[in-house]
Homo-oligomer: A and B are copies of this chain.
Amino acid sequence: MDSVELCRELAIIIISAEVFGLLSEKLNIPRVAGEIIAGLVIGPSLLNVVQSSDFISVLAELGVIMLMFTAGLDTNMSDLRETGLKALLIACAGVAVPLVCGTLLYMAFYGFGAVGTAQFCQGIFIGTILTATSVSITVQTLKELGKLSTKVGTAIVSAAVIDDVIGIIVLTLVIGTNNAGTSIGTVLLRTALFFVFAFAAGHFLLKLFRFLDRKWPHTHRISVMALAVAFLFAFLAEYVFGVADITGAYAAGVILCQLSDAGYISRKVDVNSYMIFSPVFFVSIGLQTNIRDIDSTVLLFSLAFVGVGLITKVIGCGGMARLLGFSSNDALKIGCGMMTRGEVALIVAQRGMALNVIDQKFFSSVILLIIVSSILTPIILKMFYLNKSFPHRQPSVQS
């Protein structure tokens, strides 16, 4: 990797993100959507002046880790305690409804298969792609709107973190029906162990940081060490416990959100994010996508897939939220906030193709879902938040 070439790419990425971010602000849509479009414009879809590279992807991944760390840091602990169980139920409904409906959609297009047949496995895989929310876009949108540290914001973020875990469990289960991979028990055990570890380590870390905080309050030292802990947790989560790295970073943030300097740390990490990592991450979503690759033979299926993908999250998560006592407006915000799909959907699709369970052509449907949900979700969320009177209709409660 050539650092000079990277300077060129970073300059283009940052400037285009800024220009499209500004344009989207003028059009009253969130910056995030603008930055993703910037990636589509400068990437292989249109101008092709920047291509996604290993280095850009890794910088983007560091960006997501920082984003989830600050989401954790900005958590209101009493809100989290109050919404924790609710978030679990919302996440479960938000996995179940898209999984079932995605499977049925595939069968509606390509024929019904009995349990255990290849046809059934393909359907289940398509359903599994729809399970995991990509929370980063919603986090950034809620941040822009100043609504991240609200009860609804906390519910969305924690439900999305939980549904990542459930998504991975479902994937393991589905792969398990195909080959002898990791057992579902192992996955559940490792996930449980991670949370036990985070709880125990969190206790010790809080003591250490409270000491640092007393000795050097409001110093570089606190924020630098906190960021190092975020990276450490991200590593341990994925490497030792097989949980996603962003779950680790979020857990580190939730632990450290109890410090009096949590806001200070969050602001410092935030400067890092918006200067380089966050534009790189959102632009890279656009860069990784080549609109020209979208396969027209599955266009009708793709459109239905996108529709089902979006609506089932609203029904599943929003419906459950309404059942749990959120107002219908808040339930809709939660449902819509959970619509975004991202890297986990791509991972599931890639895993499925590698195992020859699903066909290459469905990849374009996944890409379309990621783009549409990434651009639509921030716009819809902003509409809900800025136009509080809109809409008051009750969501269908079917989960």
Asked if A271 CB lies within 8 Å of chain B CBs, one says yes
Give the chain B neighbours of A4 by CB distance below 8 A: 234-235, 238-239, 245
Give the chain B neighbours of A231 by CB distance below 8 A: 7-8, 10-11, 14
Encoded as 1 (CB less than 8 Å from any B CB) or 0, chain A from 1 to 45 comes to: 101111110110011001000100000000000000000000000
Give the chain B neighbours of A274 by CB distance below 8 A: 220, 224
Identify A227's interface contact among B22, B225, B239, B276, CB under 8 A.
Answer: B276
Report whether A15 and B225 are in contact in the complex, using a CB–CB cutoff of 8 Å.
yes
Report whether B220 and A8 are in contact in the complex, using a CB–CB cutoff of 8 Å.
no
Report whether A11 and B58 are in contact in the complex, using a CB–CB cutoff of 8 Å.
no
Asked if A268 CB lies within 8 Å of chain B CBs, one says yes
Report whether B268 and A14 are in contact in the complex, using a CB–CB cutoff of 8 Å.
no
- Tell me whether A224 and B3 are in contact in the complex, defined as CB-CB below 8 angstroms, given that A11-B235, A229-B11, A235-B11 are known contacts: no
Shortest beta-carbon distance from A289 to chain B in Å: 19
Give how many copies assemble into the complex.
Answer: 2
Shortest beta-carbon distance from A234 to chain B in Å: 5
Asked if A272 CB lies within 8 Å of chain B CBs, one says yes
Report the Cα distance A57→B220, complex, angstroms. Answer: 24
Report the Cα distance A11→B221, complex, angstroms. Answer: 14
Give the chain B neighbours of A272 by CB distance below 8 A: 271-272, 275-276
- Tell me whether A55 and B1 are in contact in the complex, defined as CB-CB below 8 angstroms, given that A221-B18, A227-B14, A235-B7 are known contacts: yes
Asked if A61 CB lies within 8 Å of chain B CBs, one says yes
Report whether B275 and A227 are in contact in the complex, using a CB–CB cutoff of 8 Å.
yes
Shortest beta-carbon distance from A53 to chain B in Å: 10
Q: What are the 6 closest A-B residue pairs judged by CB atoms, nearest first?
A: A3-B61, A11-B232, A14-B228, A7-B235, A11-B231, A8-B235
Task: Enumerate 27 A-B pairs (CB-CB under 8 Å) in ascending A order.
Answer: A1-B55, A3-B57, A3-B62, A4-B234, A4-B235, A4-B238, A4-B239, A7-B62, A7-B65, A7-B235, A7-B238, A10-B231, A11-B228, A11-B229, A14-B231, A15-B225, A18-B221, A55-B58, A220-B274, A227-B275, A268-B271, A268-B275, A269-B275, A271-B271, A271-B272, A271-B275, A272-B275
